[in-house]
Amino acid sequence: MQPGVEFNIDRVIDYEPARAVHLTGLLNEQAGLVYEAHSTDYQRPEAFRMLVRDGFAILKVGPALTFAMREALAALSSIETELVPWGQSSQLMDVLERVMRKQPRNWEDHYKGDERSVSLQRRYSYSDRVRYYWDQPEVMESVKTLMSNLSQTAIPETMISFYLPEQYREVRAGRLKPEAHEMIIHRIRKVLRPYADACCTQKI
């Protein structure tokens, strides 16, 4: 079901219980049934709790996870450019842009405007059409290079603080290793945690 939550290129429509009463009211007549709520990406934690309370007990998540992964990889790529000579670096974000331009079928119907606007949408949009390109050989090789470079180079805490502040706090607390892979996973789990908190008592 669509409980009135949605997102587009640069805006999230937040859950408002009053707008879904026509759906939640039907559950009172159907004991034991719950809804699956679509497009719940990017909602605030309190919205997830309200959705579950109102009978939308299955919360569909998609682009928010790849969006978080992209943020982490972009931050790590920026760190890499400062620690590794340019010729040896992955140049990940440039590779992504080049591949997306060469193969526009997954984004050209979604992003509109002048060249500058479309370029920004490709890189930052909530709809995260980048997610369709991570399995492209050139992109996969670039990610492999990024991870290899950072595995051979100690990442200074100060740079983690600058580019990945949430992960920095966990590193300083001793709960997270200052390693690229671990910080990517942590970034994704930060997105999943509000879903788990709303739906169950088990932490992830």
128: domain CATH number? Answer: 1.10.400.20
Question: Measured in whole angstroms, how far is the alpha carbon of residue 72 from the centre of its chain?
Answer: 9
Angle at 103 between CA 67 and CA 149, to 5 degrees: 55
Q: Are 128 and 156 members of one domain?
A: yes
Residues 48, 101 share a domain: no
Q: Indicate whether 132 and 88 sit together in one domain.
A: yes
pLDDT of residue 194: 95
For the segment 174-190, the average pLDDT, to the nearest whole number, is: 98
Same domain, yes or no: 114 and 33: no
Average pLDDT score, the chain: 95
Q: Is residue 130 part of a domain?
A: yes
Identify whether residues 106 and 46 lie together within a single domain.
no
> Are residues 165 and 88 part of one domain?
yes
Is residue 51 in a domain?
A: yes
Mean pLDDT of 87-103: 97
Residue 197 falls within a domain, yes or no? no
User: Within this chain, do residues 110 and 181 fall inside the same structural domain, yes or no?
Assistant: yes
Percent of the chain with pLDDT over 90: 90
- Over residues 66-79, the pLDDT tens digits come to 999 999 999 999 99
How do beta strands 12-13 and 6-7 pair?
antiparallel
In total, how many domains does the chain have?
2
Map tokens 């309200």 to a residue. 50
pTM: 0.92
Cβ–Cβ < 8 Å for 152, 32: no
Whole-number pLDDT of residue 23: 92
**Do 77 and 53 have their domain in common?**
no
Query: Do residues 30 and 117 both lie within one domain?
Result: no
Parent domain of 169: 66-187
Do 99 and 125 have their domain in common? yes
Do residues 182 and 85 share a domain? yes
Does some domain include residue 192? no
Residues with Cβ < 8 Å from 67, sequence gap 6 or more?
Answer: 41, 42, 126, 128, 191
